[in-house]
A and B are shown apart, each in its own frame.
Chain A
């Protein structure tokens, strides 16, 4: 079945630094990937839709200059949290849909802690 690999699983960074999270589709091509943010004990909030070879589509209220998304190939999308602050600490999850499939495959998530 379709597998999505997300890396790293955990990251701790200092305030003001940038962190890159990778999302890879291992056995299929994903022209579209999705990035979610999940707060403790809450549902997933869609941040943006990542489109291969074009700009990402951000949801209302998400700062595109802070959360940089690059979808450079059909199997890789990256989310970079720039100039991170403690309030950016959260669980970030990516997902992708295989062409023709009726569901989404999720990555294992990245726990970001900004200190």
Chain B
């Protein structure tokens, strides 16, 4: 069984400030972890993912996340927020790494990022 907890349904930052979106997970097996972004009335776009290897993962649009097994966390960060980053962000976990294994991701409830000018 797996689950994802995203702390804070809303995060508000000023343009240029650090962005930190929190995600904690639970999984009975080594997890695959994902961050997705969703703009209004659109589907989800993959920001980054962790499967194996380096625990600091860099994604698109300047975002990165660090897998910390001891803390069961996969927090998303960006050094400097831009107005265009305002969106809904979803953390997700799935069982890995077998290609034939259960791969269906479980999503967190989402965090709405608000960027003030």
Contacts and interface: CB of A to CB of B under 8 A. Distances in A.
Contacts of A71: none
With most chain A CB atoms within 10 A of its CB, the pick from B34, B43, B96, B104 is: B43
B3 to A, nearest CB: 11
A43 B41 contact: no
B56 interface: no
A93 B105 CA distance: 14
Contacts of A44: 44, 90, 107
A1 B34 CA distance: 17
Contacts of B34: 103
Interface stretch (B15-23, B45-53, B75-83): B45-53
Contacts of A6: 43
Contacts of B103: 97
Q: Give the interface size bracket for A toward B.
A: 20 to 34
Contacts of B32: 102-103
Contacts of B45: 106
Chain B facing A: main interface SS: loop
A97 B92 CA distance: 15
Given A108-B43, A109-B42, A111-B41, A102 B104 contact: no
Nearest to B112: A41
Contacts of B110: 41-43
Interface string A51-91: 00000000000000000000000000000000000000001
Contacts, number: 50
A31 to B, nearest CB: 12
B58 interface: no
A4 B32 CA distance: 21
B104 A34 contact: yes
A25 interface: no
Interface string A103-115: 1111111010000
A103 B46 contact: yes
Interface of B: 9, 32, 34, 36, 41-46, 49, 51, 90, 96-97, 99, 103-105, 107-110, 112
5 contacts: A43-B110, A95-B43, A100-B99, A103-B34, A106-B44
